[in-house]
Amino acid sequence: MENGLKVRVLDIDIGSCVVTLNEEDARELGMHSRDRIKLFIDGKSVVAVLNTTKTVINAGEIGICADLVKAYKVKRNDRVSVMPVEKPHSIEYIKKKMDGLQLNENELGAIVNDVVTNNLSEAEITAFISAVYINGLSMEETAHLARKTAESGEMLELKEKPVFDKHSIGGVPGNKITLLVVPIVAAAGLTIPKTSSRAITSACGTADIMEVLAPVTFNAREIENMVNKTNGVIVWGGGANLAPADDIFIQVEYPLAIDPHHLALSSVMAKKYAVGAEFVVIDLPMGPETKIKDMKEAKKYARDFIELGEKLGIEVECAVTYGDKPIGRAVGPALEAQEALSALEKSEVSSLVEKATELAGILLEAGGVAKKGRGKKKALRILESGAALKKMKEIIEVQGGNPNITSKDIKIGKYSKKVFSHDEGYVTDISNHAVVQIARRAGSPKDQGAGILFHIKKGEKVEKGALLFEIYSNSKYKLDQSVKLTKRLNPVHLEGMLLERIPTYMFIEER
């Protein structure tokens, strides 16, 4: 043990616990950068990953990151002792998976535990994710991983059982259907504690949309209390410490833009297991620009989710949906919140209402609130009766928003541009990728008012000069950037009656 290194506080915040020593002191301890080091601070001990430096920290000093300093109440110039410690066993298990072997429940549990306690570095977690990407996991391993991932964080204990849930594996812009499904299902008396994500690479996540109407960051106990009052909530999963290992896996996957199949399965089901769900409907959007390209792939996903659910004691029903174009007319937090609220207010039939009532109907049937085959009709009745709108206002209120808000009150971006068609023809394609990029360039999701509002639908005939869509933003600069990107990406494709392709030059005009 090296005694009495003088503490310096480092201005770093990189997730894991990094401790920095001068190279000389590290050599003296027989240690190398990336080894594990144990710190003894005021009778307590903590293990961190060692970083070494020639320059930043002098011999006799120890650099400790702000997080650790806060957690252990150590001050500049305090003295701490250190000792080399062995690598965690989980590294052996990661290597086992790299070698193509199966991991048992304890081994997967050790990996998950070391992930959430920052005992594995980002590089080591990347090795695990790479190994899973290449070698896969058995369904047995996937179930262990999902359970251990759920158990790595908070678990909801809800009074009213059974618990229902809904998930979309995503990939389609404009997917605000959760804002319809949850109030319909909750209005029918079923419990649905919906946790949603924020956008990472998409235009906006459900949590970003809901945040336009009410706060979405709550801890597990707060969620339980709210659900006990309203049957349902729409909150941000990342705020509740549910299945936190999964959040870390997703962060680590991000730079490589990989989404290993078995980790994707485990990710969804860990969150559902953590909220105590007993029945889950999973929306599988299929299309050329989503995760699922064809029916064969959709069926594989569905089979895997159902099998995984069985192993976890969760009944799963999958619904394959059209994912070849944006859902509804709006993309972007405020525009989508407005569209969803308006659908609850008017309950006019639209593709959005169709999809939402279809999925809500599955849950209503599972909950015994509707007879087999009558779920969708029942969902539509709840919507038309105004009960879903009333429930949504309750949910907004319980989450701390203004329950008297109407779709007209929602503020959208103060700058906008209209995009018109330069030709006539049929709308054969609206590119999801292009729509997402344009909405993000306009400022979505950080700028809640940014986004796109469509005036045409796929399959529709448009005349030359017809209004295709509007782009909104609260920043004139970002709007201009977004218009530039629109010209380059050309998100709406038209074809003539004779099916020859017409290049769709567009012209853009200020509001």
Active site residues: 259
Closest CA to 120 of 131, 132, 112: 112
Q: Are 176 and 359 in contact (CB under 8 A)?
A: no
Residues 12-71 that bind its own copies (CB under 8 A): 12-14, 18, 20, 27-28, 30, 32-34, 51, 53-57, 63, 66
Task: Locate all alpha helices (DSSP H) within 193-234, ordered by sequence.
Answer: 206-210, 220-230
Binding residues with its own copies: total (CB under 8 A)? 54
Residue 243 beta carbon to its own copies: minimum distance, rounded to whole angstroms? 19
3-state secondary structure 114-164: HHHCCCCCHHHHHHHHHHHHHHCCCHHHHHHHHHHHHHCCECCCCCCCCEE
Residues 109 to 128 in contact with its own copies, rule: CB under 8 A: 121-127
Q: Is 412 in the site for its own copies (CB under 8 A)?
A: no
Residue 488 interacting with its own copies (CB under 8 A): no
Nearer to its own copies, 111 or 383 (CB): 111
69-108: which residues touch its own copies (CB under 8 A)?
87, 91, 94-95, 98, 100
What Rg value do the Cα atoms of the chain yield, rounded? Answer: 26
Which listed range, 340-348, 384-392, 443-451, 464-472, lies at the site for its own copies (CB under 8 A)? 443-451
Residues in Cβ contact with 168 at an 8 Å cutoff, skipping those fewer than 6 apart: 175, 177, 178, 282, 283, 285
Least distance between its own copies and beta carbon 433 (Å): 14
Q: Which residue has the tokens 């989710």?
A: 305
Looking up tokens 């029916």 gives 295
**Tokens 């059974």 belong to residue:** 162
Residue 60 near residue 28 (C-beta atoms within 8 A): no
Residue 330: CB minimum distance to its own copies, A: 19
Classify residue 398 by its DSSP letter.
H
In the complex, the smallest distance separating the C-beta of residue 458 from its own copies, rounded to whole angstroms, is 27
With contacts defined by CB under 8 A, name the span among 110-118, 132-140, 211-219, 462-470 that binds its own copies: 132-140
Q: How far apart are CA 370 and CA 232, in angstroms?
A: 18
We find the least distance from the C-beta atom of residue 11 to its own copies, in angstroms, to be 5
Interface with its own copies, residue 342, by CB under 8 A? no
* Maximal C-alpha separation, the chain: 83
Residues near its own copies (CB under 8 A) are: 8, 10-14, 18, 20, 27-28, 30, 32-34, 51, 53-57, 63, 66, 87, 91, 94-95, 98, 100, 121-127, 129-131, 133-135, 200, 251-252, 254-258, 440-441, 443, 445-446
